[in-house]
Amino acid sequence: MEFDELSNRVIGCAIEVHRQLGPGLLESVYQRCLTYELVQAGLRVETERAIGIRYKQIELNCGFRVDVLVEEELIVELKAVDALLPIHEAQLLTYLRLSGLKVGLLMNFNSRVLRNGVRRLVL
């Protein structure tokens, strides 16, 4: 599956969740509901996937976790905040770099219209 097609399918599922729930809930609620929608759409999904860090000759397990990993290709980082900040983008870009993946979606479910709260980042 191409990245654009996968991104569009994930965004469509997220829009459905946002349409049903609206803004104002906890990130964990949106994560569970989005996971449900993605599985219903026939996608392979993993939540809270750990990402390790290699520093010189040592491996560190520092507790970094990807919110949602779709088809082993796309990281989805969820937020429920007033506004996305540069630090949120930096977090997703770091997860992409550490995981070796190239594409990620940053989604802020606290947006009035979800499309305005979605950013697609490519490493």
Whether 3 shows a pLDDT value over 60: the answer reads: no
Whether 22 shows a pLDDT value over 90: the answer reads: yes
The model's pLDDT over 99-116, given as tens digits with 9 standing for 90+, comes to 999 999 999 999 999 999
Q: Where are the alpha helices (DSSP H) in the chain?
A: 3-21, 27-40, 86-99
Rounded average pLDDT over 28-43: 98
The model's pLDDT over 41-86, given as tens digits with 9 standing for 90+, comes to 999 999 999 888 888 998 888 778 999 999 999 999 999 999 999 9
Full domain range(s) for residue 106? 3-122
* CATH number for position 101: 3.40.1350
Number of domains in the chain: 1
Whether 1 shows a pLDDT value over 60: the answer reads: no
List b or e across 28-41, with b for residues whose CB sees 16 or more CB atoms inside 10 angstroms. eebbebbbebbeee
What is the CA angle 63-67-70, rounded to 5? Answer: 125
